[in-house]
Amino acid sequence: MVKQRNFDVHHVQRTDSTQDEVRAAASRRAGDGWCCVAEEQTAGRGRLGRRWVAPPGTSLLASVLLRLPADRLEGVPFAGGLATLDALERTAGVHARLKWPNDVLAGGGKVAGLLAEVVSASGESPAAVALGLGVNLSVPEFPPGIAGVSLHTLAARPPSRDAVLDAWLDALGRRLAALEARGLAALLPDWRQAAAGLGAPVTVTTPSATISGLALDVAEDGALLVQTDAGVRRFLAGDVSLGGAAAWLS
Amino acid sequence: MAEVKAELVGNLWKIVVEVGQAVQEDDTLMILESMKMEIPITSPVSGTVKEITVKEGDVVQEGQTVAIVE
C-alpha cells in the first residue's frame, strides 16, 4: 500500500538556501514531507553549484524532504517536473513543457527549475532527497544571458505563491505515489507527452564532450537517448540544448 | 581497508577529497550526477583515502569501486 504524503510547510523570510534548510532538517531526522519556503535566498543554487538568482518576493522558492525507497530515486526529478507542470496548469492555466529531465519551459524560456540532491548516507534506506523548486512568479527582468520567463507575463491572472506551492505539493504527492507503486514506468507516458524536443535536434554538453544528434526518447531508466552519426547514445547527465536555439540554462 | 563503491550509475561530477586525506565515516568523497540529481558517495569507514580510481567526468557504473579508504 502506498502511503499518503503529508507536507509540513515551514515559512522563512530569508535563508541561504531552502535546500540547506532541508539538509539540516534531514540531519535532525525530520520526517518525509518537511518543507521550507522562503521569501529570499542569499545563496540559492541550481545544479552543479550554479547560482539561482531571484529578487526577494518574486519567486516561489521551496524545498521538500522526501524519504522513499532507494530503488525509486531516479524517478524523483521526473515526478518533480511533472508536478510543476500540473501546478502551473491548475493555478495559472499555463501549459508548460519539460526539457529533459525537468527544466520547465513556457513562453520561450525557463519558468521554473528543480534541483534534487540525495542527502542520506550511502546504503541508507529509505533514501532521503532534498527536492528544490524555483518558480519565476513576478520577476521583472532576468540577468543577461538568462533565458528566463516569469509566470506573471504568461497568466491572465497570476496565482499567488502559496497557491502554486499548495498545488505543487498536492501534485507531487500524487506523482510520488505513482512512482513508489509502479516505478518510473508510471511517469514516463506523461513525461513523453510533456517533453520538449523529442524527435528534434539537440546538443548535449557533458564535462568531456559536446554531442549533437536527434533526441529519440527516454529509456526506461530515464536516460536520454540521442541518435548520433556514431549510433544511439545514452545520457544520464548533461546540459541539453534544443535545436539551434541558444542554450537553455539548466 | 574498505572499497568505496558507487550505488547508482551516473556521471562523476566532483571529487571532493584527495589521496592521503583523512576522512570520517559518512564523509562525502565525491558527487555523482544522474538525471540531474546530485548523489553523494560517502566513506563507509573512518580512515585515510588510499586511492581514487575514477576521475571527474567519468561515467560510473553501479557497484564500481571508486576509491579505497584504509
* Chain A CB within 8 Å of residue B8 CB: yes
Q: How far apart are CA B24 and CA B27, in angstroms?
A: 5
Grid coordinates belonging to A65:
524532504
**In angstroms, what separates the C-alpha of A129 from chain B's closest C-alpha?**
9
Q: What is the pLDDT of residues A26-81, one digit of tens each?
A: 999 999 999 999 999 988 777 767 777 778 899 999 999 999 998 899 899 999 99
Q: What is the pLDDT of residues A164-215, one digit of tens each?
A: 999 999 999 999 999 999 999 999 999 999 999 899 999 998 877 899 999 9
CB spacing of A47 vs B56 below 8 angstroms = no
Q: What is the pTM of this model?
A: 0.91
Residue of A nearest to B9 (CA): A236
CB proximity list for A215: less than 8 A, separation 6 or greater: A100, A197, A198, A199, A200, A201, A202, A224, A225, A226, A240
pLDDT of A248 reads 36
CB spacing of A236 vs B35 below 8 angstroms = yes
Q: How far apart are CA A220 and CA B8, in angstroms?
A: 15
CB spacing of B36 vs A73 below 8 angstroms = no
Residue of A nearest to B56 (CA): A207
Q: Which domains does chain B have, with CATH numbers?
A: 2-69 (2.40.50.100)
Q: How far apart are CA B13 and CA B11, in angstroms?
A: 6
Contacts of A249 in chain B (CB under 8 A): none
**ipTM over the 0.90 cut-off:** no
